[in-house]
Amino acid sequence: MREKRHFAARGRFQKYQREVDCPAIAGRKAMKKVLCGILALALLFGVAGIEAASAAALKNEYKLTMNVSTDTAWGKGGVKFAELVKEYTGGKVNVKVYPNAQLVGGDQMRQAEMVSSGAIDFMLNSTINIAPIIPECNAFSLPFMFPSYEAVDAVTGSAGGEMVLKALEKHNMVGLGWGENGFRELTNNVRPVAHPDDLKGLKIRVVTPIYVDIMRALGANAIAMNWGEVFTALQQGVIDGQENPIVGIIIPNKIYEVQKYLTNWHYSYDALILAVNKQIWAGFDPEIQEQIKKAAKDAMRWQIYDVSRVGLKDGIEFLKSKGMVITDPTPEQLAAFRERTKAVYDKWVQNVGPDVVKAFEEAVASYK
Ligand code: X2X
């Protein structure tokens, strides 16, 4: 009886056990299933999450600043770069070009600063505009540094060019390539300028302090002004002249409509640098970096050799047809300009950095 009860009890116990155990077992199994499910989902969303994170790391739009219009030789280079980036990255990276200094309220000098801080992603900018924060860039502006375009190419492909690009890195930017605004030629509305004495008293618009010094050394009144204001200032006679490249700027901006005389003196060369903010650059994976580098190389090569340097001869003829009087200074006249600006050259060597100037001079000498 007892045994029966015992067994009965045992049976109940076992039944109880089964009843207690079963849900537990079932629960563990269910738990396992749930855990497996969660794990699977976690893996699924994890992977998707990583993909989403890397996709999210690519912004919908990368801003590229320029302070000129997209019609200029320079501006066309920026547009080409954006097109090639889109093509080479299969549409993953979208660079949008903002011309005419619109991201910096017309203040062309702020572009480099804003790329350095990350407020703007890319710039295709003149070395002149970058020089106030990176003095090495002024090496290009030293008066009569370059005798020819070939000498320019020798420099940008040399240790000197490399030193300038390296200097960008100290300011949180990565240089992706060289473009070209070109040799800066003088225009004015008062008289032909063939000798320094001809510049005396003319109000000439310039961009930065090194050019103020050069114009003053030549006897002109230098007036610093943003590019966006120059056409109107010329039109209204606030200034008598300005200096900029023929194909790059003078023709596309119709400067011939408001200027009569042009001096083809190649007194200063204006290089462009295509650069990107360092953190933005680091955010691209290596494959995208390679694609962007290739876009930069191809776009800038096209900009220099297929846009900026073609049409120079035709450009002069075009300006003549528009009524401009072109002065080609003789070697003696050029020597006079060089002589008058020598002290400015020497003064600015310290600002640029003597080692950079030396590297530039060596590259130029190797090519002369
Ligand atoms: O301001 C100029 O003259 C220009 C357009 O050439 C530069 O941005 C340096």
Domains and CATH numbers, the chain: 2-44 (no CATH), 58-367 (3.40.190.170)
The tokens of 227 are what? 């590019």
C-alpha of residue 244 to centroid of ligand 1, in Å: 7
How far is residue 189's CA from residue 48's CA, in Å, rounded to a whole number?
A: 65
CA 320 to centroid of ligand 1, rounded, Å = 23
How does pLDDT run across 330-355, given as a tens digit for each residue? Answer: 999 999 999 999 999 999 999 999 99
Using the atom order of ligand 1, give the atom closest to the CA of residue 270.
Answer: 9
Assess whether the C-beta atom of 156 lies below 6 angstroms from ligand 1.
no
pTM of the model: 0.85
Give the residue whose CA is nearest to atom 4 of ligand 1. Answer: 227
- Stretch 8-12: mean pLDDT: 35
pLDDT digits over 92-122, tens only? 999 999 999 999 999 999 999 999 999 999 9
What is the CA(250)–ligand 1 centre distance, in A?
11
Instruction: Quote the ligand 1 centre to 75 CA distance (angstroms).
Output: 12
Q: Is 227 in the pocket of ligand 1 (CB under 6 A)?
A: yes
C-alpha 286/C-alpha 263 separation (Å) is 47
Contacts of residue 322, Cβ cutoff 8 Å, sequence gap at least 6: 256, 257
Band of residue 312 on the pLDDT scale cut at 50, 70, 90: confident
pLDDT above 90 for 50: no
* Percent residues over pLDDT 70 in the chain: 85
Stretch 270-283: mean pLDDT, rounded? 97
Q: Quick one: pLDDT at residue 51?
A: 40
- Ligand 1 atom with minimal separation from the 125 CA: 8
Q: List, for residues 161-209, the tens digit of each pLDDT value.
A: 999 999 999 999 999 999 999 999 999 999 999 999 999 999 999 999 9
Distance from C-alpha of 368 to C-alpha of 361, rounded to nearest angstrom: 10
Altogether, the residues listed in the chain come to a count of 368
Percent of the chain at pLDDT exceeding 90: 83
Give mean pLDDT, residues 2-16: 35
Give distance in angstroms: CA of 171 to centre of ligand 1. Answer: 21
CB 318 within 8 A of CB 255: no
Give the position, in ligand 1's atom list, of the atom nearest the Cα of 243: 3
Strand 122-126 to 62-65 pairing = parallel
Distances from the Cα of 44 to the Cα of 54, 55, 236, angstroms: 16, 16, 67
